[in-house]
Amino acid sequence: MAETTSDDVLREMEANPVKGRSLWADARARFFRNKAAVAGLIALIFVTSFALFGGLFAQYERDYINFALIGSNAVNGVPSFETGYYFGTDASGRDLYSRVVQGTGISLMVGLIGALVAVVVGTLYGATAGYIGGRTDGMMMRTVDVLMSIPFMFVLILLLVIFGRSIFMIFVGIGLISWLDMARIARGQTLTLKNKEFVEAAVAVGVKPWTIILRHIVPNLLGIVIVYATLLVPQMILFESFISFLGLGVQEPNTSLGALIKEGAGQMQYGVLWQLLFPLFFFLLTLFAFFFVGDGLRDALDPKDR
């Protein structure tokens, strides 16, 4: 009996790396066959490099005010290559191009940090609950149920009020609330994983539970985690824009796409439509990119579809 088990393990260990690699290669092939996903990926690369290197082309600092332009934006602040204001100026007479560059960067960062926190916390929590099982599992998942019935908007607004001044804290906060779905998914997957032979083998040779979770369970959750994270990023970016709408987002002179859109939307009827359109374009492009890449990844990593 013991022999067959270890044989099985051996076979499994032999098969796994090869199979694993081919699984990822398969997924990659499937992903690149999906035109929308590839377009999304290209858009994402474009937006990211715009955020990283767009500043090199800016003619003005993002906080520099040309006082002659305040109050006469509609006439003198129009987008133009001659003046160096590629995207025109904002209501305060600042270069909109360099602000959009920075806004894109901050929105991306905020989306990534929020999603990262949600995914890390959710995965670890779910994997732990699922692996330990029994009463602990029950307790941990009931807690998730309870937290899920807390109106999210409410918590969000209170968090804003308490951590008002630090955008980073806000997103740690939001990430910490958004981990609930991830926890459920991770637990479900863990339940099926924990009866697999390689986990049983690890238990048999006396590996500590925590190490098993980190070394054996979590890596096998990677596919679904990546998909979920990609779909979570645009949500985070949307949240950020809502926070900016309430006037509680990033502190001036820093900015985010949400803040720029909010400002532009307010100025919509005053003949300075570019103040809305440029940030909105990058906002939509970023979200499109994440949506399509996320969908593409899900189709690629979820073989039951085929």
Partner 1 sequence: MLSFITRRIAVAIPTILILVIFSFILMYSAPGGPFNSERPLPPEVLANIEAKYGLDQPFWRQIVNYVWGVVTQFDFGPSFQYKDRSVNDVIAQGFPVTLTYGFWSFVVAVIVGVSLGVAAAIRHNTWLDYLAVGVSVGAQALPNFVLAPILVLVFTLWLGWLPGGGWAGGQWQYVIMPVIALSTSYMASIARITRSSMLEVMNSNFIRTAQAKGLPMRRVIWRHALKPTMLPVISYLGPAFVGMITGSVVIDIFMSTGGIGQFFVNSAFNRDYAVIMGITILVGVLTITFNLVVDILYAWIDPKIRY
Partner 2 sequence: MTLKAKLMATGAAVLIAAGSMASAQNTHPVTGETLAEDQTFIYRVLDEHSSVDPQVVEDVSGSEVVRDLFEGLYNQDEDGALEPGVALSHAASDDGLTYTFTLRQDAMWSNGEPVTAGDFVFAWQRAVDPELASPYAWYMELMSIENGEAIIAGEMPTSALGVSAIDDHTLEVRLTKPLPYFPQMVTHGTTFPVHPPTIAAHGDEWTRPENIVSNGAYVLTEHIPQERTVRVRNEMYWNNDETIIEEVVALVINDENQALTRWKAGELDRTEVPAGQFPALAEEFPGEAISFPRLCSYYYTINVTDTANPALLDPRVREALSLAVDRDIIVNNVLAGGQTAAYTFTPEATAEFEIPDVAKAGMSQADRNARAQELLAEAGFGSGGETLEVDLIYNTSEAHRSVAIAISQMWKQTLGVETELGNQEWQTFLETRGNKDYEIARAGWCGDYNEASTFLDLMDSGSGYNDAGYTNPMVDDLLAEAKTVQDPAGRQAIYTQIEEIIAVDLPIIPIYHYAGSYMMDADVGNWPVNNVEQNWYSRNLYKIAE
Cα 183 from Cα 225, distance rounded (Å): 10
CB closer to partner 1, 187 vs 216: 187
Neighbours of 192 (CB within 10 A): 10
Choice from 93, 173, 258, 296 touching partner 1 (CB under 8 A): 258
Cα 184 from Cα 112, distance rounded (Å): 21
Q: Does 151 bind partner 2 (CB under 8 A)?
A: no
Q: Which stretch binds partner 2 (CB under 8 A): 79-87, 117-125, 184-192, 262-270?
A: 262-270
Q: Does 238 bind partner 1 (CB under 8 A)?
A: yes
Q: CB 92 → partner 2: shortest distance, Å?
A: 5
CB closer to partner 1, 81 vs 154: 154
Choice from 269, 304, 305, 306 touching partner 2 (CB under 8 A): 269
Non-local CB neighbours of 251 within 8 Å, separated by 6+ positions = 165, 167
Non-local CB neighbours of 185 within 8 Å, separated by 6+ positions = 122, 126, 224, 228
Q: In the window 22-41, what residues touch partner 1 (CB under 8 A)?
A: 36
Q: Does 74 bind partner 2 (CB under 8 A)?
A: yes
Q: 188 and 127 in contact (C-beta within 8 Å)?
A: no
CB closer to partner 2, 34 vs 244: 244
Choice from 206, 252, 304, 306 touching partner 2 (CB under 8 A): 252
Among partner 2, partner 1, none, what binds residue 65 when CB lies within 5 to 8 Å by partner kind?
A: partner 2
Choice from 29, 68, 222, 284 touching partner 1 (CB under 8 A): 284
Q: Which stretch binds partner 1 (CB under 8 A): 5-13, 42-50, 126-134, 142-150?
A: 142-150
Q: CB 273 → partner 2: shortest distance, Å?
A: 14
CA distances from 290 to 47, 112, 160, 172, 301 (A): 11, 11, 26, 20, 16
Residues in the chain: 306
Choice from 12, 63, 181, 197 touching partner 2 (CB under 8 A): 63
CB closer to partner 2, 62 vs 187: 62
Q: 175 and 117 in contact (C-beta within 8 Å)?
A: yes
Apex 187 CA angle, 41 and 212, nearest 5: 95
Q: Does 261 bind partner 1 (CB under 8 A)?
A: yes
Handedness of CA 134, 135, 138, 141 (dihedral sign): negative
Choice from 71, 84, 188, 219 touching partner 2 (CB under 8 A): 71
Q: Does 68 bind partner 1 (CB under 8 A)?
A: no
Cα 37 from Cα 298, distance rounded (Å): 10
- What's 222-286 look like in SS3? HHHHHHHHHHHHHHHHHHHHHHHHCCCCCCCCCCCHHHHHHHHHHCHHHCCCHHHHHHHHHHHHH
Residues that bind partner 2 (CB under 8 A): 63-65, 67, 70-72, 74, 91-92, 94, 160-161, 164-165, 247-248, 251-253, 266-271
Residues that bind partner 1 (CB under 8 A): 36, 142, 145-146, 148-151, 153-155, 157-158, 161-162, 234, 238, 241-242, 245-246, 258, 261-262, 265, 268-269, 276, 280, 283-284, 287-288, 291-292, 295, 305-306
